[in-house]
Each structure stands twice: as structure tokens, then as C-alpha cells.
Structure 1
Amino acid sequence: MARATLLVLCALLLGGCASFPQSTPTTPDTAADPDDATAPDVYLDVTSRVSTPVRDESISALKASLKDAEAVSQFTDDPSQADRILDVRLEKKPRSPASAIGPVITGFSYFLIPTYSTIGWTMEIHGRTQDGDTFVATDTSGSMRFWLGIWLIPAMPGNSPTEIRGQVLSAMADDAVAQLTRSDRYFLN
């Protein structure tokens, strides 16, 4: 009994988790705004089916991307004061039921057998004018993968799930803003 307890404690102390982005985040080219156009006031209408930290991180990344691209004059809390309304929908990608088998095997083997898992999100944005006319619809997705196992302890520094999640969500926001600003009806003339 003491030996089993010792093995469990060793596995818990030595087990590691490392996360990696599914694909290398790239910053797409954003369309240059015309000289005679001005950035609109924007209202974000968010529908979320993700956890609160992911939602908050996604919205802050989207706001930062819009500001960096100079695609927003200001954010407003009142849709009647906005020039453009962005309906943002965040969802977690479904995983297959068989994906739960790997972590169970890893747990029973005291983290000696590594496991691979993926988590992903989608961000849909429908841009509409004050009149309700939809002028653009964007759809972007991103994912990250997890490796669990005792062999991953050297890979843990710099690969925490929180840091990687931030990189993935930021890349998704940059892609969505690039798609938004390519629309000829986004900027005010």
C-alpha cells in the first residue's frame, strides 16, 4: 500500500502538461483604410458559449486588434450610438467522445504513457450598420494541443496553457479584424 501511495505521489509531482498552438499564428495583411474614410464607433454584441476567461480574453484581443488596425474610433455601450454593430459569437469546437480515453490511460499509467488532446474555438462576427444591413460576415477558428505526460517536464516552461491560449485567441482576433476591414462598407465615408 505504501509503495502504491509513493508511486501516485511521484506521478503527481513529476507529471507535466505542455501546450502548443495547433498552427503558427500569422498576422494577415489588413486592408489600408482610404484617406477620406474615418473609423466608426463600434458596439460589440457578444454571444458566448465558452468559459468566462476565454470570453474575456477573446473580447480584449478583438478590441486590441481593432485599435491596432485603427479600425475603431471608440467602443460604445449603447448600440444606438454606434456607427457599426459587430455581432460576435464565440464557441468551443466540439471534441469527439473518444478523446476522453487518452487521459484515462495516462492517469492509470502514472503519466508514463503520454496523451495528446486538442481544444479549439471559433469566432464568428457579423458586421451590420445602424439600419440593420449586414455588410460583412467573418468566421475564424483556432486551436491548441495538449501533451500530458512525465516526459514533458522539460517542455513545460514557456508552454503553459494560458500563454498559448492567449496567442491563439489573439491570432483569431487579428484574422477576424483583417476580414472586417477588407469590407468596403466597414469604414465611414
Structure 2
Amino acid sequence: MTTQSARAPQSEIPTGREEVAAAILEAATGLFAERGPAATSIRDIAARAKVNHGLVFRHFGTKDQLVGAVLDHLGTSLTEVLSAGAPVDERDQAMDLQMRVMARTLLDGYPAAQLQKRFPNITTLIDWVRPVHGDDVSARLAVANGLALQFGWRLFAPILRSATGLDELTEEEIREVVRKEVGRILSPATTPP
């Protein structure tokens, strides 16, 4: 049986540690977003990455460790996109991808909160809103509430729109309203006593 990597033109096959690891992360991210980690085998990831499946284990260890590495990778990538001041559509795509993989990971029963080791975009956001909220717990709750709103709309928009009679609003109109509401949650207007 011929593997996909054996059929791929030599120039498309990743070589070197960094290139192989990047190809595996990209392949795993795409497959996890499409079908979730539970329905994705290490062989599927290796085939898409055009590497031998043994390299997946060598670079990332167990499948749980690979899931954690993908979640860390997505958090770092989103932080880079946000820090670079990327256009709104690019930020939305990065957030959609991260939230889709996170949701599929959780729905598949993986302990995402234990597997993901770094949350750079969340840490940055908490640091940014802490002065506005006055204390650490309030800042963390505001960020959690903002994220919950984003998750809800990004994952359940069709049913939310239908159930609430908002079908006439465009996707962009919904996203703009959600952005404003998240902004209000993160930076509430100070009201006089």
C-alpha cells in the first residue's frame, strides 16, 4: 500500500523538524475543525500533513498531547492575529477556527481545559480589562462572559436567529452587535452613584 506521502511530489513533503511539526499542526487543526478529534485518526493527520504517522507521535506524543498542542497553537495564532491589528474578517476567521476546534474537542469528551497549557489571548484580555473592572475576579468574569457570548453566537447563530426571529439580520450585522455587546461587557460605562 502506498502512503499519501509516498505519492506526493518531493517538493510538497515537509522536511526538517520545524516544517514537519508545522505541517502536522496545520493538518490536525483542519481535521479537528472539520470532524473533531475523536473522528480523526493519527493516520488521517499524517496523510494530510504528508508525513509518516510515526512522526506525529515523535513530535507530539499521544493524541491527547496533540490535541493540547493544537489548542495552544490556535491560542498563539489568534493572539498574533489580534496583536497585528489584522482586518476584522481575518480576526473573525481566526476566532471561528479556534472556537470550532475547542467546541469539537469538548463535545468529543477531551479535557480541553487540562490539555491546553497556554491562553495568551485570554491572559492579555484579562490584563487589559482589569483596570476598568477594579479587581481580578470582576475582570475574569467579564472576560468569561464576553467569551461565552462569542462562543454562543459563533456556534449557534442559525438556531438563535431562527428562534428569536432575527433571520432578517445579516451575518455581519449580527457580528457587529455581538462585538459591541462584548465591548460593553469588557468595558462597562461607569455610572455615577
Common topology (TM > 0.5): no
Provide TM-score, normalisation by structure 2: 0.25
Greater helix share, 1 or 2? 2
Q: Using structure 1 for the length normalisation, give the TM-score.
A: 0.25
Query: As a proportion of its length, which structure holds more strand?
Result: 1
Which one scores higher on RCO, CA 8 angstroms, separation ≥ 6? 1
